[in-house]
Amino acid sequence: MSGPIVRFAPSPTGLIHIGNARTALLNALFARKHGGTFLLRLDDTDRARSEERFAEAIKRDLAWLGISPGRIETQSSRIGRYEAALAKLREQGRAYACYETEEELDRKRKRQLGRGLPPVYDRAALRLSEAERVKLEAEGRKPYWRFKLDHRVVKWDDLVRGEIAIDTASLSDPVVCRADGTWLYSLASVVDDIDMNVTHVIRGEDHITNTAAQLDMFVTLSGEEPIFAHHNLLTLPGGEGLSKRFGSLSLQSLREAGHEALAIAAAAVLTGTSLAVEPVESLDALAEKIDFKKISHGPARFDPADLDGLTAKTLHAAPYAAVAGRLEELGIGGGEKFWLAVRGNLSRFNDAKEWWDVISSPLESKTADNDRDFLKLAETLLPAEPWGDKIWDEWLAAIKPAANRKGRELFHPLRIALTGRENGPELRALLPLIGRARAVARLRGETG
């Protein structure tokens, strides 16, 4: 039996944010864990708002997260399939033409609310006579199309929320095609899922009501239903929802701010679950944590301030193999020894460049005058190369009795002379990277 087929279907009308990443990752990692396929489907039927630059940004953001779609589809290339589906529904009496304007529908909803009734479409269009339809079209009105729900209680076993039951008689018949011929998510998504053999629909809980209507469409068009999982949505600490208006939380802005992709992934997936939000060593490790039963039914409250600590902790645990290419791109040498020496002091990856400059570039002396004699003594005791891994300890063992110093009085002048910094990575790891010639120059107060 083949693995599950899942999809992430964003609209290319803006930059995706960490909340969107939650849905994308839950899909991609579920597929990875179970040997399935992850599809990227761009919901670009809104011709006025969809832009190619946003489509490219979505692909770039997913690549940065480390999730690679097995296939990429665009809804704009599938209009013929939606037209055929609508024709089939019309033949079955499950789609009907409507002529109300947005203003008329809005007034109707307000009247219903004023009478204490739910603002459900009253199916007035079904009561139009042929003569009335001809008259409306002669006035220049073009029909929009609704799917006629089969008023019944729709039930499904949701992987996150358990059994859900919704009476579709309480819902408006969903609009599937606008008067201008553009297609809405309601029908297009179902047709795509059928054609692409999607087995699991993993999406936000804001789609639960849509699911009841769409399950009716699945049964009508194919007789088969996918499995659904509706996860909770990321919110800000005060409960505010995320949207594309929160530019600071777009994946692009988080990347530009120096946050680690794995940190974003961990925050996006683990927030709002019974699991601790903590660093992960890889997406494979994060995939193993995916368990829909551990996703809370309440809001997933997310504090952007937590990303700073999560990014730092992710770097502190990152193995050299995971960052070697990135170090090379920044022109950083030193190999694994350098990375293991400095990673524990990084808050952002680019901070590594500062420490490489400390090791390899000329350094302005910041040594205090009253430490000159001490450093001169230290220089005379610095062993000749080649150095082993214990060179720092051997050097200190010689300096300590000769200078009669210990603690900060011993270490601090050496750190200032060798690195020009008050604190940082252990000198035990840095000294072999600095090398004897540069160390001697710095102990003498020379640029080195």
Amino acid at 154: V
Give the three-class secondary structure for 248. helix
Q: To the nearest 10°, the Cα dihedral for 419, 420, 426, 432? A: 10
Give the three-class secondary structure for 102. helix
pLDDT on residue 245: 62
Topology match between the domains 5-69+233-307 and 77-231: yes
Q: pLDDT tens across 246-266, in order?
A: 566 999 999 999 999 999 999
> Which whole number is the average pLDDT over 310-319?
98
pLDDT on residue 366: 87
Q: Look at strands 227-231 and 200-204 and give their pairing.
A: parallel
Strands (E), 187-268: 200-204, 227-231, 234-235
> Which whole number is the average pLDDT over 379-384?
96
CB distance 150 to 173 below 8 Å: no
Yes or no: is domain 5-69+233-307 CATH 3.40.50.620? yes
Token pair 């551990």: residue? 294
Q: pLDDT tens across 337-375, in order?
A: 999 999 999 999 999 999 999 999 998 888 888 899 999
pLDDT on residue 49: 87
Q: pLDDT tens across 200-250, in order?
A: 999 999 999 999 999 999 999 998 899 999 999 999 998 888 876 656 699
End-to-end CA distance of the chain: 64
pLDDT on residue 156: 98
Q: pLDDT tens across 63-113, in order?
A: 999 999 999 999 999 999 999 999 999 999 999 999 999 999 999 999 999
Q: Which residues of 82-111 are buried (b: 16+ CB within 10 A; e: fewer)?
A: beebbeebeeeebbbbbbbeeeebeeebee
pLDDT on residue 370: 87
Fold (topology level) of 77-231: Rossmann fold (3.40.50)
Query: Would you state the structure tokens that stand for residue 254, as one six-digit string?
Result: 């988080």
The residue ranking higher by pLDDT, 369 or 29, is 29
CA 133, CA 10: separation in Å to the nearest integer? Answer: 36
Token pair 């570039």: residue? 361
CA 437, CA 426: separation in Å to the nearest integer? Answer: 19
Token pair 């297609």: residue? 183
Q: pLDDT tens across 50-65, in order?
A: 999 999 999 999 999 9
Fold (topology level) of 369-443: Arc Repressor Mutant, subunit A (1.10.10)
What's the pTM value of the predicted model, to 2 decimals? Answer: 0.92
The domain ranges of the chain are 5-69+233-307, 77-231, 318-360, 369-443
Residue 27 has pLDDT above 80, yes or no: yes
pLDDT on residue 246: 57
Instruction: Say what percent of the chain tops pLDDT 70.
Output: 98
Residues 6+ apart with CB under 8 A from 178: 144, 184
Query: Would you state the structure tokens that stand for residue 44, as one six-digit string?
Result: 């670009």
Q: Which helix (H) or strand (E) holds 165?
A: strand 162-167
Mean pLDDT of the chain: 95
> Which whole number is the average pLDDT over 267-289?
97
pLDDT on residue 369: 85
Instruction: Say what percent of the chain tops pLDDT 90.
Output: 92
CB distance 323 to 282 below 8 Å: no
